[in-house]
Structure 1
Amino acid sequence: MTTTIELTLLGTAGGPGGHLHRAGIASLVTVGGRRILVDAGVAVVQQLAHAGCAVGDVDTVLLTHLHDDHTAGLPALMTFRHTMRGRPLTVIGPPGTAALRDGILAYLRTNTAIRGREGSLPDPATLLAAREVEPGVVMADAAVTVTAVENTHYALTSFDGAHRSYALRFDSGGRSIVFTGDTGESPAVTRLAAGADILVSEMVTEADAAAVPAPVRAHMRAEHLSPTQVGRMAAAARVRTVVLSHYTDAGPDDLAAIAREFSGEIIAGEDLMRL
């Protein structure tokens, strides 16, 4: 029996702050009866509910990197899961993930002290585990294999290994889904995406770069992908479909710029889209 793998775009907005029509960046991969969350941006709990997934149904969280727009929804997910007596949750991510776990546990202390009076609550430390991983296979079972490579989101800043940013590839039953994560141009990500059915790619336009404070513009242009770069990566990797996520807007000119480089299917991702 072939395992099916399904992608739900929970939130497609990138960057800090709220967005009127998009939730923060988060995706749900459903495979072999497991529900795996990729990143956990703002409003992830609400978006899971819209997708028909309770907070306790999430099996594992994979973080591409630890920028706040990718992690801000994780404390809410964990505290509600704890209050509802959910099962243990494992968060897998780059170096720094364990410190993030410790911060979430500190956040939970006050709520635990109050709600614990209403009835016994388990020690939250027993319900949240963190596993820091290096590039390579980061998860594997009979249903799915997940592989990570380091991308170029931190190309302008050297953290001496203290912080890293990953792209992720899911392989299951002959189908593959790749998440670029936040990245600039990256041969490693192109190789990871080779032959993928779906490439979930971030995108930053010139309008996006112009809208941020001047000190951030170099980061926006060097450590994110332009529409043309998205198209070139997709073409070089020979993927079947590009799905845009972690973007502000995809106007006709942006989609045309991708299409000039890439002849496959291009989808401007929207919240709660299933693929």
Structure 2
Amino acid sequence: MTAVTLLGTAGGPGGHARRSGIASLVEVAGVRMLVDAGVGVVRQLAGVGLTCGDIDVVFLTHLHDDHTAGLPALMTFRHTMRRGPLTLIGPPGTVALRDGVLAYMGANTAIRGQEGRLVDPVTLFEARDVEPGIVYSDAAFQVTAAENSHYALTRFDSPQKSYALRFDTASRSLVFTGDTGESRAVEDLARGADVLVSEMVTDADVAAVPPPVQAHMRAEHLSPEQVGALAAAADVGKVVLSHYTDASADDLEAIRREFPGDVIAGEDLMRV
């Protein structure tokens, strides 16, 4: 059985009154995985009856802070509670991010280590920087990454990549767009998937940010019309919106004009 729960559906930095930071739970054949770890992810796991110790793998689509801000809590609480190893898989920079979180954990480890033996946290947290392609597989499922266009306007001195992810299991195929603008690579990755979990940025979202950020919002995210066009071109079964602020009736209608299948406005703790 393959189950997906939207733990948090908010995109962008800062707090949101009605949504936790972006994070999704994927469960396949007894393996529990996170796609991204936005702020509040530990609380949201509790909301579905799980703890930080119940996760086996964390996949990071990219390293923007709204996708990683919950990772320090997930890791340090797991260590404090004496839970087992955790694997982090993501684009270049994931290993360095893991190392930064371990440095943050140093003070807590020194203090709580006096209350009872704690293992060296370095031994608990494996991290892998991966390139596009198959990034994880076992007998029950396979995870494939494709580089998307979220950094289309940005130039870096060091390698930075943003990924969409596809989970292929015996019962379902799931694609998470991650943060992206229009992308043929994402369309190809999503082709024929049962569920497309897609980000969305509306005109209201663009209007709410400072003018220097608006070009990024329009070029490196998906409008409702673009979500619909992607879903139709990839011939997916249904669209589930996540990483968005609000979806008005007009926004949903804009998607449905392009895509004839089911369109669901995702909410925190929704199982899809």
TM-score of the aligned structures, taking structure 2 as reference length: 0.99
Of 54, 57, 62 in structure 1, the residue corresponding to residue 54 of structure 2 is 57
Q: Which residue of 2 aligns with 1:25?
A: 22
Paired residue secondary structure (1:168): strand
Contact 1:152 1:183 in 2 (8 A): yes
Of 263, 266, 269 in structure 2, the residue corresponding to residue 269 of structure 1 is 266
Please tell me whether residue 108 in structure 1 is matched to residue 105 in structure 2: yes
Q: Which residue of 1 aligns with 2:144?
A: 147
Contact 1:7 1:28 in 2 (8 A): yes
1:214-254 CA-partner distances (Å, limit 9, x unpaired): 11100000000000000000000000100000000000000
Cα deviation, residue 157, structure 1: 1.1
Q: Which amino acid counterpart does residue 143 of structure 2 have in structure 1?
A: V
CA distance in 1, matches of 2:129, 2:140: 22
Paired residue secondary structure (2:114): helix
Paired residue secondary structure (2:113): helix
Q: Which residue of 1 aligns with 2:73?
A: 76
CA-based RMSD: 0.7
1:154-205 CA-partner distances (Å, limit 9, x unpaired): 0001236610000000000041000000000000000100011000000000
Number of residue equivalences: 272
Q: Which amino acid counterpart does residue 58 of structure 1 have in structure 2?
A: I
Contact 1:95 1:161 in 2 (8 A): no
**Structure 2: gaps spanning 5 or more residues:** none
Q: Which amino acid counterpart does residue 250 of structure 1 have in structure 2?
A: A
Q: Which amino acid counterpart does residue 88 of structure 2 have in structure 1?
A: V
Moved more, 224-233 or 49-58: 49-58
Please tell me whether residue 88 in structure 1 is matched to residue 85 in structure 2: yes
Q: Which residue of 2 aligns with 1:257?
A: 254
Paired residue secondary structure (1:15): coil
Paired residues for 1:220-259 under 5 Å: 220-259=217-256
Paired residue secondary structure (1:256): helix
CA distance in 2, matches of 1:217, 1:116: 47
Paired residues for 1:192-207 under 5 Å: 192-207=189-204
Q: Which residue of 2 aligns with 1:123?
A: 120
Paired residue secondary structure (2:58): strand
Cα deviation, residue 52, structure 1: 1.3
CA distance in 2, matches of 1:98, 1:57: 21
Q: Which residue of 2 aligns with 1:217?
A: 214
Stretches of 4+ aligned residues off by more than 6 angstroms = none
Q: Which amino acid counterpart does residue 255 of structure 1 have in structure 2?
A: L
Identical counterparts, % of pairs: 72
TM-score of the aligned structures, taking structure 1 as reference length: 0.98
Q: Which amino acid counterpart does residue 250 of structure 2 have in structure 1?
A: D
Paired residues for 1:161-172 under 5 Å: 162-172=159-169
